[in-house]
Amino acid sequence: MHLSWLLLLLSSMGAITVLVGTNTVITPKNMLTTTNTTKPGCQRKCGNLTIPYPFGIGQNCYLQGSFGIICNTSYNPPRAFPVIPYSDFDILDITETQIMIRTTIIASRCQNSQGNVTFETGNLDMWGSPFTISNTANKLTVIGCNNYAVFSGSGDTAESYQRTGCISLCSIETEPVPGHCPGLGCCQDSVPFGWQGFTISLFGVEDEQGVNSIARFLSNQSCSYAFYAEKGSFIFGGASDLTLNNFDVVRNRIMKQLNMVLDWNIKLNTSCKMVKMSNSSINPYLCQSNTRCIDTEEGGYRCSCLPGYEGNPYLKPGCTDINECIAGPNNPCTMACVNSPGSYKCSCPRGYTGDGLKSGIGCVRIIDKSSSALNKFTLGLGISLGIIILLIVAWWFSTIIKRRRIIKQKAINFERNGGLLLQQQMAADESVVAAIKIFTVEELERATDHFIEDRILGKGGQGTVYKGMLSEGRIVAIKMCKVIVDQNQCGDFVNEVIILSNINHRNVVKLLGCCLEHEAPLQVFEFIPNGTLDHHIHSPISEFLITWRMRLQIASDLAGALSYLHSSSSIPIFHRDIKSSNILLDDKYRAKLSDFGTSKSVAIDQTHATTRVMGTFGYLDPEYYLLGQYTEKSDVYSFGVVLVELLTGQKAIRSTLEEEKSLTSWFLSHMENSRLLDIIDSQVVKETSKEEFLIIAEIANRCLNLDRNRRPTMKEVLLEIEAVLSLHLPHANEQIEPKSRQMFSETSNGVFFSPSTFYLENSSSSSADVSLLNNPR
Ligand SMILES: *[C@@H]1O[C@H](CO)[C@@H](O)[C@H](O)[C@H]1NC(C)=O
Ligand SMILES: *[C@@H]1O[C@H](CO)[C@@H](O)[C@H](O)[C@H]1NC(C)=O
C-alpha cells in the first residue's frame, strides 16, 4: 500500500470540494436595507416607511411624477401619498417589485324597510402610471345576500378591458360558514392580470326565493358590500356579518382592511432590449452598473443588482460589491473567506476538506480523517501482528515450559528411580560405567514403537517386558517396572542394576543398560529367544521335548551361575527367587538365569504367603520361611526344587488330588520309599540309565534337606552335575549337538545369578528391612 498515493488522492478530493465551495453565491440583499437608498440629500423616510429611489419625496428626489411622494405629517403617523393623485390611496410599503396601498374603494347596495335601494360604486384609476394591480396578492370579495358584484377594468390599453364578478346568495336551510366564501353569504374571485384600474358595482338578484331568503336574516332590509383587497385581510364572520344591526360594524371592519398590493415597473410598455437600443435622454436606460435588466410580466422592465452586489440599481454609480467576508453573522464561511467582486470564496486551510460554507459541509479535518484511517489501519495491523507475535511467544514459551517440565520430570523420575544412587556407584566403581549404558526415553520408545501392545513379551508383577530393537539393530528385551511408589523399591531397582552390571556370566541374562528418566524405570536386557524352562517342562503342548542331555546341561548351567554368584563374585549374591520360570533358554537351549515374568510381590500374592518372605512358594527354603534368614543354602534349596522339576517334569506345586501338593515332599517321600522310578519323567527314563538320574535325584535330595547346614554348596553341586554330564553318553534316542561338551567346559567356569532378587549381603538397607520384616519373631 502506497501511503503517499493515498494521501495524494485524499488531498485532491479536498481540492475539488474547495473549488465547489467557491462557486456558491449568496442572494443579493434588498436595496431597501442598504445605505444608498435615496438620492443624496433627499428625505429617506416618511414615518416608518423607507422610500427608495426611484420613489422620492420632493423635487429631483424621484425618477418621474408617478414615483413622487408627498409625506403628509398632519397625520400621526405621517402618511405617504403619491404626488399624482390617481385615486384615494396612500402608500404603506415599498419593496423592489411591489408597493402596498391603503384605499377606501368599496361598493355597497343597501335596501331599507321601505324597499328603497341605495348604491355605492368603487373606482380605482392608475392608467398611465407604472403600477399594475397584482392579481395574485389580492382578491375580490362580496358579502351579502342575493347580490352579484361586477368587477370591470383594464390594463394600459382600452383593448384589455375585461369584466368579472361573483354572486352571493343566502339560503333558508343553510347557514353561511364563517371564514368561508363559496357563494353562501360571501363570495370571492380573482381578477385578470395587468389591470391598472377598475370599477366595482353591486346588483340585486331577482329570484323566487329572494324575499324569503332575505327575510330570514334581514326581514325586508339588507346591505351588501364588494371590495378588492389584499388576500386574507378580511375574514368573513358568517351569519352575524349579514344581520341588520351589524351593517355599519361590517363596513367599518372592511374599510380598515382595504389594503391592496400593486406591482411596479420602472417603465411600462417597453423591454430591456428596447430601452438599451433606444437609450436616449427621453427614454434613458435606467439600470446602473453592476445591475441587470429584468423584463417584467406586466410589459415593462426593472433593474436589479447583480448577485454579490448591493445597493440601489437605479442610482449612480450602481450596485457595489458585497464584502461577504466581513466578520459577523453574515459571513458565509466557517473558516477562511476571500471576497471578490460579486462573489467570495470560502476555503479550508491545509489539512481540512469541505466547502467551508456555514450553510454547507464546512471544513472537516482532512489529516485527522486520513491519519485516523491510517491509524486504524496501522492499529489493526499492529494488533494482528501483536496477536501473532503473542501467539508465537506463547507457543514458544509453552514448548519451552513443556520441554522444561519434561526435563524436570525426567530429573524427578531419575532421582526417584534411584539415579543418584547409581551415579554414586558409578563414581565409586568405574567398571559399572563401562558395563551400563544409560538409555534415553526416546531411544527406548523408538526401540519399542512407543511401547505398543504388540511388542509385549510378557507381563508380571514387577512389570511388563517388551521386545525391542535398538538403533544398531540389536534385539533386546526391555523391562518396564511398574510405576514405583515405594522409595525402597527404587533402591531395589538401582541395586539390581548395580549387581547386574558387576556380573558378566554366560548363564546370566545380560543387562545392557537402563533408563531412569522414564516414569517407570526401564531395564534393557539381551533378548533370549526360547522362553522359560518352566514353559518347556510343563507345557503339555510343547513342540519340542527337552532331552535328558539338555536337562543336565541346564542344571549344570544353573549350578554354575549360582556357584559364581555365591562364591566367585567379589560380594556374595543370592538370587532368592530361583524357579523354572526364571530360567530362560537361549537358541541352543542353554540356561540363562533371570527374573523375567516374576516378581516378589506377585510371588507372594500367588503363593498366598502371609508374610513378606521373598521367593516363590514351592521353591521356598522352609528354614528361611521359619527363621526369616536367607542364606546361600536357601538358593540351594530352590535349586533342588528345579532339579526335581527337571527329573519329574512336575510343577513345584502339583495340581493333583493327592495329599502331597508340594513337589518336594512328594519327591522326598518317594526317595525314602525307593519308589523314585514311579515319579521320574518317562522321557528321562527312556533316554538315560538309572544310575544317572539316581545321582541327580540324590543331589536334589541333599539340596532339599530341611537342615540347611546339611545341604551342599552350589560349588559341590556343580562339580557333581558336571561329573554326571561328562560321563553321560548320548542315548540312542538322544539328539546331541557335537559342540556341547566344549560349551560345557566354558560354562563350568561361569557362575549364575538372577537380576532383581539378588541382594548384596550386608550392604542393602532394603534387604535388612526385609529380613526384619520376615523374621517371625
Ligand atoms: C394633509 O392632509 C390634510 C387633511 O387631509 C389636508 O388638509 C392637508 O392639506 C394635507 N397637507 C398636504 C401638504 O397635502
Ligand atoms: C406602447 O408603445 C408602443 C410603441 O412602443 C406605442 O405605439 C403605444 O401607443 C404605447 N401604448 C401605451 C398605452 O402607451
User: Is the Cβ atom of 278 under 6 angstroms away from ligand 1?
Assistant: no
Which one of 46, 57, 71, 72 would you pick to mutate in the ligand 1 pocket, going by the greatest count of ligand atoms within 8 A of its CB? 72
Tell whether the model's pLDDT for residue 730 goes beyond 70: no
Residue whose CA lies nearest to ligand 2 atom number 7: 269
Percent of the chain with pLDDT over 70: 78
> What distance in Å separates the CA atoms of residue 379 and residue 377, rounded to the nearest whole number?
5
Tell whether the model's pLDDT for residue 391 goes beyond 70: yes
pLDDT of residue 659: 62
pLDDT of residue 57: 92
Tell whether the model's pLDDT for residue 300 goes beyond 50: yes
pLDDT band (50, 70, 90) for residue 658: low
> What distance in Å separates the CA atoms of residue 157 and residue 148, rounded to the nearest whole number?
26
Tell me: the pLDDT tens digits for 673-685? 888 888 888 888 8
Segment of 69-73, 313-317, 501-505, 621-625 carrying the highest mean pLDDT: 69-73
| Beta strand residue intervals within 350-501, DSSP E | 352-353, 364-365, 437-438, 456-459, 463-469, 475-481
Which ligand minimizes its atom distance to the CA of 57?
1
pLDDT of residue 18: 33
Tell whether the model's pLDDT for residue 767 goes beyond 60: no
Question: Is 533-744 a CATH 1.10.510.10 domain?
Answer: yes
Instruction: Specify burial of residue 402 (Cβ count, 10 A radius: 0-12, 13-18, 19+).
Output: exposed
Short-list 285, 321, 317, 320, CA closest to 303: 285
Instruction: Specify burial of residue 17 (Cβ count, 10 A radius: 0-12, 13-18, 19+).
Output: buried
**Average pLDDT value for residue range 175-198:** 89
Tell me: the pLDDT tens digits for 213-256? 554 555 567 788 999 999 988 999 888 888 777 788 889 999 98
Query: What's the start-to-end Cα distance of the chain, in Å?
Result: 92
Positive or negative CA dihedral for 338, 340, 345, 351? negative
Q: In angstroms, how far is CA 105 from the centroid of its own chain?
A: 83
Tell me: the pLDDT tens digits for 416-433? 777 777 777 777 766 665
Q: Residues of 118-129 as b/e, b for ≥16 C-beta within 10 angstroms?
A: eeeebebebbeb
Contact 299, 269 (CB under 8 A): yes
User: Could you say which DSSP state residue 169 is in?
Assistant: B
Residue whose CA lies nearest to ligand 1 atom number 14: 72
Which ligand minimizes its atom distance to the CA of 127?
2
> 634: how many CB neighbours lie within 10 A of its CB?
26
The H-or-E segment that residue 426 falls in is helix 419-428
Q: In angstroms, how far is CA 110 from the centroid of its own chain?
A: 90
Which residues are part of the catalytic machinery? 577
Tell whether the model's pLDDT for residue 458 goes beyond 60: yes
User: Is the Cβ atom of 70 under 6 angstroms away from ligand 1?
Assistant: yes
CA 274 to ligand 2: nearest atom: 5
Residue whose CA lies nearest to ligand 2 atom number 14: 269
Residue whose CA lies nearest to ligand 1 atom number 4: 74
Q: According to CATH, what is the number of the domain 272-321?
A: 2.10.25.10
Percent of the chain with pLDDT over 90: 19
The set of long-range contacts for 113-116, using a CB threshold of 8 Å and a minimum separation of 24, is: 113/219, 113/220, 113/221, 115/220
CA 72 to ligand 1: nearest atom: 1
The rounded Å distance from CA 75 to ligand 1 centre is 9
Residue whose CA lies nearest to ligand 1 atom number 3: 74
Q: Where are the domains of the chain?
A: 3-22+101-264, 30-87, 272-321, 419-526, 533-744
pLDDT of residue 570: 63
* Phi–psi pair at 330, nearest 5 degrees: -85, -10
pLDDT of residue 711: 93
* Phi–psi pair at 296, nearest 5 degrees: -95, 160
CA 157 to ligand 2: nearest atom: 13
User: Is the Cβ atom of 73 under 6 angstroms away from ligand 1?
Assistant: no
Question: Alpha helices of 224-270 — where are they, by DSSP H?
Answer: 247-256
pLDDT band (50, 70, 90) for residue 484: low
User: Is the Cβ atom of 83 under 6 angstroms away from ligand 1?
Assistant: no
For residue 231 the three cell numbers come to 388576500
Which one of 131, 132, 160, 269 would you pick to mutate in the ligand 2 pocket, going by the greatest count of ligand atoms within 8 A of its CB? 269
Same fold, 272-321 and 533-744: no
Region for residue 356 given its phi and psi (left: phi exceeds 0; alpha: psi -120 to 50; beta: otherwise): left
Contact 49, 60 (CB under 8 A): no
Residue whose CA lies nearest to ligand 2 atom number 8: 269
Residue whose CA lies nearest to ligand 2 atom number 4: 269
Beta strand 267-268 with 68-72 is: unpaired
Contact 641, 652 (CB under 8 A): yes
Q: How many helices (DSSP H) and strands (DSSP E) are in the chain?
A: 21, 37
The rounded Å distance from CA 57 to ligand 1 centre is 15
Which one of 43, 57, 74 would you pick to mutate in the ligand 1 pocket, going by the greatest count of ligand atoms within 8 A of its CB? 74
The rounded Å distance from CA 74 to ligand 1 centre is 7
Short-list 71, 142, 61, 133, CA closest to 101: 133
> What distance in Å separates the CA atoms of residue 58 and residue 450, rounded to the nearest whole number?
124
**Average pLDDT value for residue range 157-182:** 85
The rounded Å distance from CA 82 to ligand 2 centre is 24
Residue whose CA lies nearest to ligand 1 atom number 7: 74
Short-list 290, 325, 294, CA closest to 309: 290
The rounded Å distance from CA 69 to ligand 2 centre is 26
Tell me: the pLDDT tens digits for 242-251? 877 778 888 9
Residues sharing a CB contact under 8 Å with residue 528, sequence separation 6 or more, in sequence order? 477, 509, 584, 585, 586, 592, 594
pLDDT of residue 261: 94
Give bridge partners of residue 525 from the DSSP assignment.
477, 511
Cell numbers 486520513: residue: 370
Residues sharing a CB contact under 8 Å with residue 616, sequence separation 6 or more, in sequence order? 577, 579, 598, 603, 606, 607, 652
pLDDT band (50, 70, 90) for residue 12: very low
Q: Tell me the CB-side half-sphere exposure of residue 544, using CA atoms within 13 A.
A: 13
pLDDT of residue 619: 86
Contact 553, 694 (CB under 8 A): no
What is the second-level CATH architecture of the domain 419-526? 2-Layer Sandwich (3.30)
> What distance in Å separates the CA atoms of residue 691 and residue 515, rounded to the nearest whole number?
49
Short-list 648, 626, 623, CA closest to 638: 623
One-letter amino acid for residue 597 of the chain: G
The rounded Å distance from CA 72 to ligand 1 centre is 6
> 234: how many CB neighbours lie within 10 A of its CB?
24
CA 156 to ligand 2: nearest atom: 13
Give bridge partners of residue 82 from the DSSP assignment.
69
Three-state secondary structure string covering 275-305: HHHCCCCCCCCCCCCCEEEEECCCCEEEEEE
The H-or-E segment that residue 476 falls in is strand 475-481
Which ligand minimizes its atom distance to the CA of 73?
1
The rounded Å distance from CA 156 to ligand 2 centre is 9
Give bridge partners of residue 201 from the DSSP assignment.
150
The rounded Å distance from CA 6 to ligand 1 centre is 78
The rounded Å distance from CA 621 to ligand 1 centre is 163
For residue 204 the three cell numbers come to 340585486
Tell whether the model's pLDDT for residue 772 goes beyond 50: no
Contact 590, 742 (CB under 8 A): no
Segment of 19-23, 228-232, 628-632 carrying the highest mean pLDDT: 228-232
The rounded Å distance from CA 128 to ligand 2 centre is 11
Tell whether the model's pLDDT for residue 751 goes beyond 70: no
Instruction: Specify burial of residue 688 (Cβ count, 10 A radius: 0-12, 13-18, 19+).
Output: buried
pLDDT of residue 396: 92
The rounded Å distance from CA 86 to ligand 2 centre is 20
Which ligand minimizes its atom distance to the CA of 283?
2
The rounded Å distance from CA 267 to ligand 2 centre is 12
> What distance in Å separates the CA atoms of residue 28 and residue 345, rounded to the nearest whole number?
16
pTM strictly above 0.75? no
Residue whose CA lies nearest to ligand 2 atom number 11: 269
Tell me: the pLDDT tens digits for 73-109? 999 899 999 988 877 889 999 988 899 999 999 999 9
More confident call, 301 vs 544: 301
Pocket of ligand 2, beta carbon within 6 A: 156-157, 269
User: Is the Cβ atom of 74 under 6 angstroms away from ligand 1?
Assistant: yes
The rounded Å distance from CA 123 to ligand 1 centre is 22
Which ligand minimizes its atom distance to the CA of 154?
2
Q: What is the radius of gyration, based on Cα positions, of the chain?
A: 69
CA 269 to ligand 2: nearest atom: 1
**Average pLDDT value for residue range 41-63:** 89
Average pLDDT, the chain: 78
Which ligand minimizes its atom distance to the CA of 72?
1
Segment of 349-358, 485-494, 766-775 carrying the highest mean pLDDT: 349-358
pLDDT of residue 133: 92
Residue whose CA lies nearest to ligand 2 atom number 6: 269
pLDDT of residue 745: 31
pLDDT band (50, 70, 90) for residue 486: low
48-62, 158-172, 381-395, 537-551: segment of lowest average pLDDT: 537-551
User: Is the Cβ atom of 72 under 6 angstroms away from ligand 1?
Assistant: yes
Tell me: the pLDDT tens digits for 340-390? 888 888 888 888 888 888 888 888 886 555 556 666 778 888 889 989 999
User: Is the Cβ atom of 76 under 6 angstroms away from ligand 1?
Assistant: no
Tell whether the model's pLDDT for residue 742 goes beyond 50: no
> What distance in Å separates the CA atoms of residue 685 and residue 698, rounded to the nearest whole number?
16
Residue whose CA lies nearest to ligand 2 atom number 3: 269
CA 73 to ligand 1: nearest atom: 1
Residue whose CA lies nearest to ligand 1 atom number 11: 72
Which ligand minimizes its atom distance to the CA of 128?
2
pLDDT of residue 487: 53
> What distance in Å separates the CA atoms of residue 661 and residue 641, rounded to the nearest whole number?
13
Residue whose CA lies nearest to ligand 2 atom number 10: 269
One-letter amino acid for residue 68 of the chain: G
pLDDT band (50, 70, 90) for residue 771: very low
